[in-house]
């Protein structure tokens, strides 16, 4: 059952400063993202038909850790796609460029999630969940949760996947979740990048973890 903090997260809207910070992360990453050849060629070779049909999505991820210390990956889930560059672990304080890279092929595209854990400003153990789906058929969808680490005990990945797949839920992008009890928040968004290759789409994932 969804907790009250989850509902507040769904209703949260980005402030002007938060949107500006998210835009800055994306803008700083675009130049490097377009300059690098990050596609794992073995993935391309294994999926020649999909690539030839123009169904290749390359996703670069940029995460900003605004908490008091490094965060560690507690769990992750990959429903669709390939991981080329894995999640940063630990995720250090600050923002780095192109911390993770994933590739999706066919109509399934990409669908993944990661759960980071660490301490908030009050030294309470907390969790920050970021989830996303990116495909030609269903477009870009994101979801997030945060709060005390106990909230993520026995995490139900099927429930998280339904948040990304439910056609009755509006596709909120970017998405902000917040938790009053712990003072934590997490923002996640997906953005497209202009790219000249007809068989390849490049997108950017930006996340801001606070608390």
pLDDT digits (tens, 9 = 90+) for 76-101: 999 999 888 899 999 999 977 778 88
Give 164-177 pLDDT, tens digit per residue: 998 766 678 899 99
pLDDT band at 10 (very low <50, low <70, confident <90, very high): very low
Number of neighbouring beta carbons within 10 Å of residue 66: 13
Which pLDDT belongs to residue 3? 36
Is the CATH code 2.60.270.50 the one for domain 4-210?
yes
Q: What is the pLDDT of residue 38?
A: 55
Model pLDDT, residue 32: 66
3-state SS, residue 194? coil
pLDDT at 20: 87
pLDDT for residue 197: 61
Average pLDDT over residues 189-199: 73
Alpha carbons 190 and 72: distance in angstroms, whole number: 22
More confident residue, 33 or 10: 33
What pLDDT, on a 0 to 100 scale, did the predictor assign at position 149?
98
Reply yes or no on whether the pLDDT at 194 is more than 90: no
Q: Apex CA 73: angle with CA 67 and CA 79, to 5°? A: 125
Rounded Cα distance between 8 and 4, Å, is: 6
| Kind of pairing between the strands at 200-210 and 56-65 | parallel
Tell me the pLDDT tens digit for each residue of 11-70: 467 888 888 888 888 887 776 666 555 555 555 556 555 555 557 888 988 999 999 999
Please give the model's pTM, rounded to 2 decimal places: 0.86
Tens-digit pLDDT profile for residues 100-152: 889 888 678 899 999 999 999 999 999 999 999 998 888 899 999 999 999 99
pLDDT score at 209: 97
Predicted local distance difference test score (pLDDT) of residue 7? 31
φ and ψ of 183, to 5 deg: 70, 25
* Range 202-206 average pLDDT: 90
């Amino acid at each position: 059952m969804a907790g009250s903090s989850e509902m507040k997260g769904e209703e949260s809207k980005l402030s002007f400063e938060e949107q500006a910070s998210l835009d800055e992360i994306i803008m700083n990453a675009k130049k490097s993202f377009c300059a690098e050849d990050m596609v794992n060629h073995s993935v391309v070779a294994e999926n020649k038909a999909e690539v030839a049909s123009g169904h290749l999505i390359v996703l670069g991820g940029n995460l900003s850790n605004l908490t008091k210390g490094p965060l560690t990956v507690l769990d992750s889930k990959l429903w669709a796609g390939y991981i080329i560059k894995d999640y940063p672990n630990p995720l250090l304080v600050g923002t780095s460029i192109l911390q993770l890279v994933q590739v999706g092929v066919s109509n399934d595209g990409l669908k993944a999630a990661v759960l980071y854990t660490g301490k908030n400003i009050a030294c309470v153990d907390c969790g920050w969940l970021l989830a996303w789906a990116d495909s030609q058929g269903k477009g870009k969808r994101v979801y997030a949760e945060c709060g005390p680490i106990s909230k993520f005990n026995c995490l139900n990945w099927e429930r998280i996947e339904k948040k990304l797949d439910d056609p009755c839920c509006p596709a909120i992008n970017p998405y902000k979740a917040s938790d009053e009890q712990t003072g934590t928040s997490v923002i996640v968004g997906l953005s497209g990048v202009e790219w000249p290759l007809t068989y390849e789409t490049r997108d950017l994932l930006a996340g801001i973890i606070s608390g």
